[in-house]
Chains A and B, each alone.
Chain A
Amino acid sequence: MTAVEGERTEWLGRSVKRKEDSRFIVGRGNYIEDIKLPNMLYMAILRSPFAHAKINSIDASAASELPGVVVVVTGELLAEHNLAWMPTLSGDTQAVLATDKVRMQGQEVACVIAEDPYVAHDALELIDVDYDPLPAVISPQAALDPTAPVIRDDKEGQADNKVYHWEAGDAEATQRAFDEADKVVRLATHYPRCHPAPLECCGCVADVNPATGKATIYMTSQAPHVHRTVFALVAGLPEQNIQIISPDIGGGFGNKVPVYPGYVVATAASLLLGRPVKWIEDRTGNLISTGFARDFYMDGELALKEDGTMTGLRVKMLSDQGYAYADAQPSKFKAGLFHIVTGSYDIPAAHVATEGAYTNKAPGGVAYRCSFRVTEASFFIERLVQTAAYELGIDPAELRRKNFIPPDKFPYTSATGFEYDSGNYEPALDQALERVGYQELREEQKRAREEGRLLGIGLASFTEVVGAGPSRQFDILGIKMFDSAELRIHPTGKAILKLGVKSQGQGHETTFAQIVAHELGIPPEDVTVQEGDTDNTPYGLGTYASRSTPTAGAATSMAARKVREKAKKLAAHLLEAAEEDLEWETGRFHVKGAPDRAKTIQEIAFAAYTDHPQGMEAGLEAVDYYDPPNMTYPFGTYAVVVEIDRGTGSWNVKKVVAVDDCGTRINPMIVEGQIMGGLAEGFGMAAMQLITFDEEGNCIGSNFLDYLLPGSWETPPFELGETVTPSPHHPIGAKGVGESATVGSPAAFVNAVIDALAHAGVRNIDMPMSPDKVWEALNEVGLAE
């Protein structure tokens, strides 16, 4: 059995229609809000109106007396059971319900449990909380000022607002590169706070059976097994008595990785009351309190030779973590996988350093379709390279090409210490340039400028790092980041595949069945994929960071190959031949030289239960816990064309070309769907998605009227292309694709707008590039009308 096999069957690269659609298109999905249990109670959360305040008292007596209210849970009650605080997935602590202070607007202060959801919300208005407002710290720069109030004064030994300091690369070697540089180009930019905003908010139904002590918790979880372990640790419940069931999830994008207070209080209330408790978050609660993304200040420099050869890179980052460090990322990677900031380029020396700061804002910094700060890193290098091109007077496409890591240098160890598994960047660039019509566009741009029109062409040649990850480096709270598959072939040749990951729309029920079909020849319609139930699936770390295909997809292949090994023994028995005389072709073994002497996988499966040889165990099944030998490194080049309205500052997207290389494509339809979805979200970040705060710490962006999302009208059409460079270490050469487009596209959109203004000296506009900001930039350089 080898890890990588070159053979491709008809099931790889085939756009099989999705199995899961059959229920969704008739309204028979089963999302968290659809779950209804007998005797169920409903929970509503009272949230803090202040960003920072001392709590003097909470009077819940009137709320408790409202008919239909069963109990009002406060932090005081939870503290009696040592549940007022909980660990975050980054090893910090976060309040479940506030006791001493509130530290962000929207923080959970009390929960009402009632017979009816409307009554639960009525009762919230009857709770009287006496607050003493405190000064709010709303920027990380202000937070690190020595005179700033200490936000986490609850933590022993915490005398300031520093969360972490982290570095990677070689500072001295980098300094030397800068000392010797012909040219140094600098860029300072803020990747602003945004929110993944899956269309379904978070929620749970907690059902603790008072007779057995079994806690069944239905919840919107991208990582049900990890969440079960956290529940066991937080609540002190025996892990085998906790069952997390993650039903259909209405989008996640990283937002449903952390554990939120609502889940914990609903579970505690169910334990207390012996009845199921349902909590469904409202949109405002989702936007102001759950895992936000980005909020990364980046200031960096690129050292170059006169001819454009890159020789060194250094970046300093300042990260706004909110009031708790809850990034939900691998323990050893404080600033995620920001190492990838050297991007697609052969830069011999690099150094990066990050400070994390507490502020009076929601905790998070989750990987919003980005594999742990990869979006920020990729955005920065692609923006910086574009800046360097203007400063050196070299075409941005050619500066990239000149510095690409050449294909013969893979596997390539970057200056920050990552080993790129594979890559071939020029063909993707060439294809993108050709599809967009780059040379003609540069001519058109010149003509447009003469006519007073502002046309811009933006490029991004990104490299991602996904599929966390190898156990020697990657863990979350100590749990290694393997993933798993359990494959069982039943007597009639039908299969059930159980996974440790959990789809939130990615189409696992289809693509993972295709992997089984590829390995064993059992058609996808005969393979049922099960996920999201911790009692019923092998332990895994969940779906985020584009890791399902690199980890659980690999586990599926390996489990299927174990099944095939046993099938071979069974076939030898049935065919009365020696194992070494058998040959596998998709779906059957035949005797070498006698293709008619064959047994199909279905016949073999039947024999596994009815006619297995003496001394062999019955059954045909296998489990695989896959520890990936390395991360995977998808890449691509995106090209965006825009025209700016000089009167309003609005920018119109004229064309978007996305050429992606994610290795082997299992289901091209699903891959392209994910790329287009990611492009739309990248466009959203570049154009409109912004969570910001006023001076008092009030969140601006607390609903979809203020937090703008791209709709069908604003979102441009996309043209897609592909190159295929299989991962050398993944069993089927796949790399993961869910996040490529959100990683690669924001820089392409910004570079396009800047490109339209570069001749006038404009080098940066922070996202989102709202028309007013663009107009101000136009006005500064005399281009506004």
Chain B
Amino acid sequence: MITETQVATHEITVTVNGQPRSIEVEPRLLLVHFLREKLALTGTHVGCDTTSCGACTVLVDGVPIKSCTHFAVQVDGREVTTVEGLATGAELHPVQEGFKEEHGLQCGFCTPGMMLVSAALLDENPDPTEEEIRWALSGNVCRCTGYQNIVKAVQWAANKRKEES
């Protein structure tokens, strides 16, 4: 039962999409709420509350994590990338282009998480097989597309990166 009303807060410093931010947070504040409510980065979505669906996926030091079951204080001193940080200025990330080109999204709710996982995959494995893509995305649920076009979107992005390098 909650009876204490004065909760101790912690100041955390975290680099979000390249920008250092220092903010006082309650220790229980979830990372997803920190991003959405404190930093107004609403591209990160909550789909299930239980680490199952991946709509809340962000990158912490380049690694995909599910921000609905991560506390904000856990990212103190680290780098977080959200969907808002994927593009470089007006230039879209190849994964973003790929999702549009290959019709990898419909309602768009899972898309930020899907794209961040895909971006991390391509950083680690620039030329993944279909099986590797499907395995990498297996922690993220999409209810609209049936995944086939998401796989094609990642393949599109991989090809684009190859052409650019």
**B-contacting residues of A (Cβ < 8 Å)?**
17-18, 20-29, 31, 33-34, 66-68, 118, 122, 125-126, 197-201, 248-251, 253, 280, 282-284, 504-507, 669-670, 672-674, 676-681, 703-705, 709, 711-713, 715, 717-718
Q: Are A712 and B109 in contact (CB under 8 A)?
A: no
Q: Are B106 and A199 in contact (CB under 8 A)?
A: no
Contacts of B82 in A (CB 8 A): 27
Contacts of B103 in A (CB 8 A): 17-18, 669-670, 672-673
Contacts of A26 in B (CB 8 A): 43, 83-84, 86-87, 92, 96
Cross-chain pairs A/B with CB under 8 angstroms, 26 sampled: A25-B111, A26-B84, A26-B92, A26-B96, A27-B82, A28-B43, A33-B42, A33-B45, A199-B45, A199-B110, A200-B45, A200-B109, A250-B108, A250-B109, A251-B144, A669-B103, A670-B103, A673-B144, A673-B145, A673-B146, A677-B145, A704-B141, A711-B137, A711-B138, A711-B139, A711-B147
Contacts of B137 in A (CB 8 A): 711-713
A126 to B148, CA, bound (A): 47
- From A122, A250, A505, A679, contact of B146 by CB (8 A): A679
A709 to B139, CA, bound (A): 11
Q: Are B107 and A704 in contact (CB under 8 A)?
A: no
Q: Are A25 and B96 in contact (CB under 8 A)?
A: yes
Q: Are A24 and B111 in contact (CB under 8 A)?
A: yes
Contacts of A703 in B (CB 8 A): 48-50, 52
Interface string of B48-69 (1 = CB under 8 A from A): 1110110100000000000000
Q: Are A17 and B52 in contact (CB under 8 A)?
A: no
Contacts of A681 in B (CB 8 A): 143, 146
A705 to B96, CA, bound (A): 29
Is B151 at the interface (CB under 8 A from chain A)? yes
Given contacts A24-B105, A704-B48, A715-B146, 15 further A-B contacts (CB under 8 A): A23-B108, A25-B96, A27-B43, A27-B112, A28-B43, A29-B109, A33-B45, A66-B2, A198-B143, A283-B50, A670-B103, A704-B52, A711-B141, A712-B140, A712-B150
- From B49, B87, B110, B134, contact of A283 by CB (8 A): B49
Contacts of B16 in A (CB 8 A): none
A198 to B45, CA, bound (A): 13
A710 to B78, CA, bound (A): 33
Closest A residue to B26 by beta carbon equals A118
Smallest Cβ distance from B18 to chain A, in angstroms? 15
A199-B55, A673-B103, A677-B144 known; A282 and B49 CB under 8 Å? Answer: yes
Interface string of B127-155 (1 = CB under 8 A from A): 00000011101111111111111110000
**Most interface-central of A23, A198, A677 (chain B CB within 10 A):** A677
A677 to B45, CA, bound (A): 20
Smallest Cβ distance from B133 to chain A, in angstroms? 8
A197 to B48, CA, bound (A): 10
Interface SS majority for chain B? loop
Is B158 at the interface (CB under 8 A from chain A)? no
A63 to B68, CA, bound (A): 26
Is B24 at the interface (CB under 8 A from chain A)? no
Q: Are A20 and B108 in contact (CB under 8 A)?
A: yes
**Most interface-central of B43, B52, B99, B144 (chain A CB within 10 A):** B144
Is B14 at the interface (CB under 8 A from chain A)? no
Closest A residue to B1 by beta carbon equals A125
A502 to B43, CA, bound (A): 21
- From A67, A118, A248, A674, contact of B108 by CB (8 A): A248
Q: Are B53 and A34 in contact (CB under 8 A)?
A: no
Q: Are B108 and A21 in contact (CB under 8 A)?
A: yes
A18 to B100, CA, bound (A): 7
A21-B105, A26-B84, A505-B107 known; A199 and B100 CB under 8 Å? Answer: no
A126 to B3, CA, bound (A): 10
A462 to B4, CA, bound (A): 61
A27-B84, A705-B50, A705-B52 known; A251 and B107 CB under 8 Å? Answer: yes
A717 to B147, CA, bound (A): 8
Q: Are A283 and B45 in contact (CB under 8 A)?
A: no
Q: Are B146 and A718 in contact (CB under 8 A)?
A: yes
Closest B residue to A681 by beta carbon equals B143
Is B28 at the interface (CB under 8 A from chain A)? yes
Smallest Cβ distance from B83 to chain A, in angstroms? 4
Contacts of A198 in B (CB 8 A): 107, 109, 143
**Most interface-central of B28, B111, B112 (chain A CB within 10 A):** B111
Contacts of A126 in B (CB 8 A): 1-2
Contacts of B48 in A (CB 8 A): 283, 703-704
Is B12 at the interface (CB under 8 A from chain A)? no
**A-contacting residues of B (Cβ < 8 Å)?**
1-2, 5, 26, 28-29, 36, 41-50, 52-53, 55, 82-84, 86-87, 92, 96, 99-101, 103, 105-112, 115, 133-135, 137-151
Smallest Cβ distance from A571 to chain B, in angstroms? 37
Q: Are A17 and B142 in contact (CB under 8 A)?
A: no
A18-B103, A24-B111 known; A251 and B96 CB under 8 Å? Answer: no
A18-B100, A507-B106, A669-B103 known; A199 and B141 CB under 8 Å? Answer: yes
- From A34, A280, A676, A705, contact of B148 by CB (8 A): A676
A26-B83, A28-B43 known; A713 and B138 CB under 8 Å? Answer: yes
A679 to B146, CA, bound (A): 7
Contacts of B2 in A (CB 8 A): 66, 122, 125-126
Q: Are B100 and A17 in contact (CB under 8 A)?
A: yes
Q: Are A25 and B100 in contact (CB under 8 A)?
A: yes
Q: Are B109 and A199 in contact (CB under 8 A)?
A: yes
A125 to B2, CA, bound (A): 8
Smallest Cβ distance from A677 to chain B, in angstroms? 5
Contacts of A22 in B (CB 8 A): 100
A28-B43, A122-B2, A126-B1 known; A200 and B107 CB under 8 Å? Answer: yes
A677 to B150, CA, bound (A): 11
A20 to B84, CA, bound (A): 17
Contacts of B142 in A (CB 8 A): 199, 712
Which are the 9 A-B pairs with shortest beta-carbon distances? A27-B43, A505-B107, A250-B109, A24-B108, A676-B146, A704-B52, A680-B146, A27-B83, A505-B106
**Most interface-central of B28, B36, B49, B101 (chain A CB within 10 A):** B49
Q: Are B45 and A31 in contact (CB under 8 A)?
A: yes
Contacts of A199 in B (CB 8 A): 45, 47, 53, 55, 107, 109-110, 141-143
Smallest Cβ distance from B84 to chain A, in angstroms? 5
Q: Are B42 and A34 in contact (CB under 8 A)?
A: yes
Closest B residue to A121 by beta carbon equals B2
- From B5, B42, B138, B148, contact of A27 by CB (8 A): B42
Closest B residue to A285 by beta carbon equals B49
Closest A residue to B130 by beta carbon equals A717
Q: Are B45 and A250 in contact (CB under 8 A)?
A: yes
Contacts of A505 in B (CB 8 A): 106-108, 144
Closest A residue to B30 by beta carbon equals A118
- From A27, A29, A31, contact of B41 by CB (8 A): A27
- From B26, B42, B86, B106, contact of A673 by CB (8 A): B106
Contacts of B1 in A (CB 8 A): 125-126
A20 to B100, CA, bound (A): 9
Smallest Cβ distance from B38 to chain A, in angstroms? 12
A777 to B83, CA, bound (A): 47
Contacts of A676 in B (CB 8 A): 145-149
Contacts of A122 in B (CB 8 A): 2
A113 to B97, CA, bound (A): 42
**Most interface-central of A34, A122, A250, A505 (chain B CB within 10 A):** A250
A703 to B141, CA, bound (A): 13
A249 to B108, CA, bound (A): 9
A198 to B106, CA, bound (A): 12
